[in-house]
Structures are given as structure tokens and as C-alpha cells.
Amino acid sequence: MSTASAGLAKKLGYNDVRVYLDGEPEWAKANLPTYSTTDFIVNGNVVLIDTRSTANAIAGRIMGAYSVPYHMLEDKLDDVPRNAPIVLYGDEDVIMDALADVREEGFNFVSLVDGGYEGWVKAKGKTEKGPIYNTEIKWVRILGKGEVSVADFRKVASGEDKNAIIVDARTKEEVAELGIFKNTINIPLDEIPNRLNELPKDKKIYVHCSTGARADMAYEELIKNGFDAKFLLLNIKDAECDCEIIRP
């Protein structure tokens, strides 16, 4: 992408055009700061964390921020899903350390508030003050394109929703070993292109596999062929799944 733009800029007559090929991932890996936009912080389903002292957070913090003083950060983040976007702000002398720590904890999306709390106030962002009640960090992923919610999936597996069917895209061997959900047919991912005629066009089709990777691929294949499909992005061993299994 960056090369296409750079080539265009060159054609437009710019004399000094360079490309940072390594890009944003390398920049973050080098423990250099990256920032989120105000819009993303407010609307992006983020975990926003104020790493300053509790007293400072009580005196004034960004609207919706969790107060987690820097020394408590690792503990508090333990149970937060690693794909949650984390946005941090705090005292200048430790915020880069906090950023490095959180990135090291395995979080994939970590960035800072540009200018910290002061920068936010100056940019007239919304703030709040007073006692802090939300101490446990809660984060729920918003469903992505093509994903079915676990609740909807469960309704079909249980037989409550008859307007959809479930396709299990795992291999025959996996099904033979681990069992299969109720109201489900097993069509391994690689057989789907040749077995489309076994699937109904007038019903929704929910695809699952073991983690969601193959289900996503199967979903794309079904959509391409005009089926009303969705996929479950969940490790089916996760307690959240809670669907009855017909054991082999």
C-alpha cells in the first residue's frame, strides 16, 4: 500500500519520497509510541486505562477509563482477552514502560492517548471525576463480518431454532474422535466446494470447526456460492460454547 502511494507522490512531482517498508508493526516492536485517534478511543470498543495514581484518576480522568496504577497493570490485565485493543495514558516518566509491558504481555493492539490526560483535556475530550466503581476490566468482542453469536449458534445446536443448520467443517477423523454437536452435519472444509448440493439455500448455515479458522474459510466459500452463511469464531472447547455433544 505504502509503495503505491509513494509511487504516485513521485509522479505528482514530489522530490523527496521515501517508504518506511517495515511499517507500523516494526515501529511498535521497537517499543516506540503509537497513538489512537479520539474517535477510536470513544467508539472503538477499547479498554482505556489510566495508569496514573488513583488519586489523580479520582480528580479527573478520561470518560470511560479504568483506573489501574502502573504497578498493578499486569495483574489487572491477566484475564483480558489478548485481542482487546488497549489504549493507555499516564505519567510521562512511566508511560513508555507501561506500553512496553502491555505489548510484552501479548496484547496485539496497544497504543497511547496522544498527549496523555492533559492532551485529551486540551483537545476538549470528555472527562469524568469522583469515585471509581468499575475496577474489574470487562471487554466483549463485537462480532466481525460473517460471525454468528454464540447464543444464536447454540439455539440451532439445541434444536430451538429450526431455520438454520450447522455445518461442522472439521475432518472426519476429528469428528470420530471428539464427537459432533446435535443438529449438525459434518462436511470437512476441503470437501465443501464439491458438496454444495447437500446444503439448503432457504436456511441459514452456521459453520464451525475447532477454533474458527476453517469455519471462516468455509463461510467465504458458501457466501461466494450464494448461501446465507455465518461462522462461529470460537474455540469449541471454550466453556462459553456450552453445546451438547453427541459422543462417538
- Residue 66 burial (CB count, 10 A): 19
Helix (H) or strand (E) holding 96: helix 92-104
**Residue 90 CB, nearest distance to another protein (Å)?**
17
CB of 142 to another protein, least distance (A): 13
Q: Between 158 and 210, name the residue whose CB sits nearer to another protein.
A: 210
As measured in angstroms, the least distance from the Cβ of 133 to another protein is 27
Q: Cα(92)–Cα(52) distance, rounded to whole angstroms? A: 10
Nearest to another protein of 166, 169 (CB atom) = 169
Q: CB-wise, 66 or 107, nearer to another protein? A: 107
Cell numbers linked to 204: 441459514
User: What whole-number distance in Å separates Cα of residue 213 and Cα of residue 65?
Assistant: 33
Minimum CB separation of residue 100 from another protein in Å reads 15
- Taking the complex as a whole, how short is the minimal distance between the CB of residue 71 and another protein, in angstroms? 25
The distance of closest approach from Cβ of residue 195 to another protein in the complex, given in angstroms and rounded to an integer, is 9
Q: Which of 135, 123, 140 is nearest to 39 (CA)?
A: 123
Contact 36, 83 (CB under 8 A): no
Contact residues for another protein, defined by CB under 8 A: 1-10, 12-28, 30, 32-37, 39-40, 44, 85, 109-111, 114, 169-171, 174, 188-190, 193-194, 196-197, 213-214, 216-217, 220-221, 224-225
Compare residues 90 and 188 and give the one whose CB is closer to another protein. 188
**Phi/psi of residue 241, nearest 5 degrees:** -65, -55
Report the largest interatomic distance among the alpha carbons of the chain, rounded to a whole angstrom.
69
Q: Closer CB to another protein, residue 7 or residue 200?
A: 7
Nearer to another protein by C-beta: 77 or 88?
Answer: 88
By C-alpha distance, which of 202, 228, 225, 217 is closest to 170?
217
Distance from C-alpha of 145 to C-alpha of 166, rounded to nearest angstrom: 18
